[in-house]
Amino acid sequence: MPNLQLTFACDNYAHTRALRENLVKPEGVDLTYLTVFPAETFQRMVQFNEFDCSEMGMKFYVSTAQLEKPPFVAIPVFPSRSFRHAAIYVSEKSGIREPKDLKGKKVGELFAYGHDAAIWARGIMSDEYGVPIDSVTYYVGRLDKTTAREFAPFPPPSHIKVEQLGPDQTLDAMLESGEIDALYSAIVPPSFLKRNGTVRRLFSDYKDVERAYYRKTGIFPIMHTMVVRRDIYEEHRWVAQSLYKAMKESKRHAYDYYVSQEKNMHRLMMVPWLTAHLEENREVLGEDLWPYGLDRNFKAVDAFLRYHFEQGLSKRRLSPEELFAPETLVDYFPYKPPH
């Protein structure tokens, strides 16, 4: 019986590179790995179902999961995740000195209301600092002239104040000039990189704040998951487990490289104190720094689903178990780090 031919759209992550380079092959599948920038992948997948399986932003996946005929089913693999205290930028003209000062302000958000980084930032501001979701006005649009993407298939809720930028406006220019007070952005704004004092992070000590947040909540925020087209999954139910096992194996390849090179990492990469940074991460996060599977990520997935609902992006609050192929909720071969 010939292998199933599948296309897989995903960015070039360290933990998926073994799949891209055919060092790992899913059982029964010939996988064509297409390296595509995530935002483009999401649009092409949601609008046109172009790929058989792909990386998918959690916001888009959870929104499509509530359609009458959900087009995708997810696997509990998380290619992109990031703590998001560092993703909140403020204009020096805003008068914002601490999180509570965001109340009543104008806050920019990339592309459309509800991108993954902003969902997490809003949720954390509400949970940890008492900043209500509806206490600010959101300005949505492109970051700068190089990051235009007009794709917003899921409109914002009516009770949230959202202003769309005009064709000649950019969030970065508005932040720098003080036209908006703050920005939730997965991409570092160019105005911040100028280092001229006009734009700064809300949390200058974000590393310590984010680590304290993890120690308190046990949550390592998830941005993206992996999805399979539902028509393929329904016809070949074994595909979900086959891809899941292969993605775990691909992650093992990345970990093995880190461990094998750790004693020499300081001379292989242009990052001072990298060894100390790796040791710090292991102390906080444990040996498996980037866990897959629902059990290890239940708190993060559940928090995201609550935020998605509270921010008016869900008709009802979904449970974490609803998101993933049932076969992948049983982890027959849990990952054991080599370190």
Give 154-211 pLDDT, tens digit per residue.
Answer: 788 889 999 999 989 999 999 999 999 999 999 999 999 999 999 999 999 999 999 9
pLDDT at 74: 98
pLDDT at 228: 98
Give the side-chain half-sphere CA count within 13 A for 223. Answer: 19
**CA geometry: angle 17, 84, 15, nearest 5 deg:** 10
pLDDT digits (tens, 9 = 90+) for 125-139: 999 999 999 999 999
Retrieve residue 245's tokens. 């096992």
Q: Where are the alpha helices (DSSP H) in 49-115?
A: 58-64
Retrieve residue 243's tokens. 């891809």
3-state DSSP assignment of residue 184: strand
Cα 84 to Cα 30, 119, 210: the distances in Å are: 36, 10, 8
pLDDT at 337: 60
The answer to whether 242 touches 328, Cβ cutoff 8 Å, is no
Residues 6+ apart with CB under 8 A from 276: none
* Nearest alpha carbon to residue 137 among 178, 176, 109: 109
Cα 61 to Cα 99, 236, 300: the distances in Å are: 29, 21, 15
* pLDDT classification of 1: cutoffs 50, 70, 90: confident
Q: Model's pTM, two decimal places?
A: 0.94
Looking at the predicted structure, is the pLDDT value of residue 143 above 70?
yes
* pLDDT classification of 251: cutoffs 50, 70, 90: very high
3-state DSSP assignment of residue 305: helix
Average pLDDT, the chain: 93
DSSP3 helix / strand / coil % (the chain, rounded to 5): 45, 15, 40
* Nearest alpha carbon to residue 337 among 290, 293, 300: 290
More confident site: 266 or 227: 227
CA distance 66 to 63: 6
CA distance 3 to 6: 9
* pLDDT classification of 260: cutoffs 50, 70, 90: confident
CA distance 297 to 280: 21
pLDDT at 321: 96
The mean-pLDDT minimum among 30-39, 152-161, 172-181, 225-234 falls in 152-161
pLDDT at 97: 96
Residues 6+ apart with CB under 8 A from 102: 96, 125, 131, 135, 136, 181, 182
Residue type for 318, please?
Answer: L
> With the CA atoms of 67, 73, 75 and 78 taken in that order, what torsion angle do they form, in degrees rounded to the nearest 10?
-40
Looking at the predicted structure, is the pLDDT value of residue 339 above 60?
no
CA 67 to chain centre: 21
- Pairing label, strands 88-91, 182-184: antiparallel
Looking at the predicted structure, is the pLDDT value of residue 151 above 70?
no
- Which helix (DSSP H) or strand (DSSP E) does residue 191 occupy? helix 190-193
Retrieve residue 268's tokens. 């292989």
